[in-house]
C-alpha cells in the first residue's frame, strides 16, 4: 500500500521562540522530518495553518486570544521553515488538515503524519482521516507538542484508535521503505 507523508505545520510561527505559539522541541524534530521527506519523496505534502480573513463562530474568541496571528496567509509568520523546500502545500484555517484536497493526495494509501503540534493539528488531522477510513501512522519522534506531557498524552489517545491510527517511530517508517 502506498504511503503519503504529510508534514503538518512546520512553520515559522511554531518554530520561532519569540512567538506566542512557539513549540518546544520543534528544532529537535527537524532532522527526523527531513529524513522522512527524503525517504518518502515525492509522495510528500506539507500543510500550513493560516488565519482566516474574517474569523467566524468560536474562531472569533480564539483570535481575540491570539490577535498576533490575524495576518494574511502570505505573512512571513506562516512560511514553512527554511529547512524544507515544501513542494505541494495545503493551507487550512482549521486545526485538522483532513479534507478533500488531502484525501485526493493520499488516495487509498496510508497517511503518515509528522510535524506540530502533536496535541492539536496532528491529533485533529489523524482522527479526521481515521474517521474517513484512512489508515494513519503518526511518527511519534517526528512530532512535537506544546510540552512533553501533552505530546505523550496525545500519542496515547491516538494509540487508542488502533488499528485505524498506529503510533510509530521514524526508524520503523524508514525500515518500511
Q: Closest by alpha carbon to 172, among 96, 103, 110? A: 110
Tell me the CATH number for domain 3-175.
3.40.50.850
What pLDDT is recorded for position 177? 80
Low-confidence ranges of the chain (pLDDT < 70): 1
Per DSSP, the three-state class of 41 is coil
Q: pLDDT per residue over 102-152, tens digit each?
A: 999 999 899 999 999 999 999 999 999 999 999 999 999 999 999 999 999
Domain range annotation of the chain: 3-175
Amino acid at each position: 500500500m502506498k504511503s503519503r507523508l504529510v508534514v503538518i505545520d512546520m512553520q515559522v510561527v511554531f518554530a520561532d521562540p519569540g512567538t506566542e505559539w512557539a513549540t518546544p522541541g520543534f528544532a529537535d524534530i527537524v532532522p527526523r522530518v527531513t529524513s522522512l521527506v527524503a525517504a518518502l519523496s515525492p509522495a510528500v505534502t506539507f500543510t500550513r495553518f493560516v488565519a482566516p480573513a474574517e474569523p467566524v463562530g468560536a474562531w472569533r474568541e480564539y483570535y481575540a486570544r491570539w490577535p498576533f496571528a490575524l495576518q494574511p496567509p502570505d505573512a512571513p509568520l506562516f512560511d514553512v521553515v527554511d529547512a524544507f523546500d515544501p513542494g505541494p502545500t495545503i493551507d487550512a484555517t482549521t486545526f485538522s488538515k483532513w479534507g478533500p484536497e488531502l484525501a485526493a493526495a493520499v488516495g487509498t494509501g496510508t497517511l503518515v503524519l509528522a510535524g506540530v503540534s502533536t496535541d492539536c493539528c496532528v491529533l485533529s488531522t489523524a482522527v479526521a482521516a481515521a474517521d474517513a477510513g484512512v489508515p494513519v501512522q503518526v511518527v511519534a519522534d517526528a512530532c512535537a507538542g506544546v510540552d512533553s506531557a501533552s505530546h505523550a498524552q496525545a500519542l496515547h489517545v491516538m494509540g487508542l484508535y488502533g488499528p485505524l491510527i498506529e503510533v510509530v517511530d521514524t526508524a520503523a517508517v524508514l525500515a518500511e521503505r
